[in-house]
Amino acid sequence: MSNSIPSNGEETKNKLDEYRKSIDNIDAAIINMLAERFKITQKVGIYKAKYNLKPADKKRESEQISRLRKLSKDAQLDPDFSEKFLDFIIEEVINHHKRFLNSE
């Protein structure tokens, strides 16, 4: 922490810009993936409603969690974070389903 700003401030800015451009590219990819994911969960929701299948499936959810935790370890990502991430997404899927049922 004893380092001061590099003499060439421009260089610092370029390095940060480089990182940020990569983050922006990754975010764009994730947003597009999420859009595809919600298209599919919407189809799942319609399908389950049509055939009176239960909206939630605890067995499936627990399989997803185990799988994501394993994938995370392989990718050196915190498995607890991935589980939180899946919860976050599933919560949104439930919101989507509720909105869909209300619009029926």
Should residue 86 be labelled a site residue for a second copy when binding is judged by CB under 8 A?
A: yes
Site for a second copy (CB under 8 A): which residue of 14, 23, 62, 98?
23
CB 88, min distance to a second copy, A: 6
Identify which of residues 35 and 102 has a Cβ nearer to a second copy in the complex. Answer: 35
Amino acid at 62: S
Contact 79, 72 (CB under 8 A): yes
CB 55, min distance to a second copy, A: 12
Site for a second copy (CB under 8 A): which residue of 34, 61, 62, 98?
34
Site for a second copy (CB under 8 A): which residue of 54, 58, 59, 60?
60
What is the DSSP annotation of 33-68?
Answer: HHHHHHHHHHHHHHHHHHTT--S--HHHHHHHHHHH
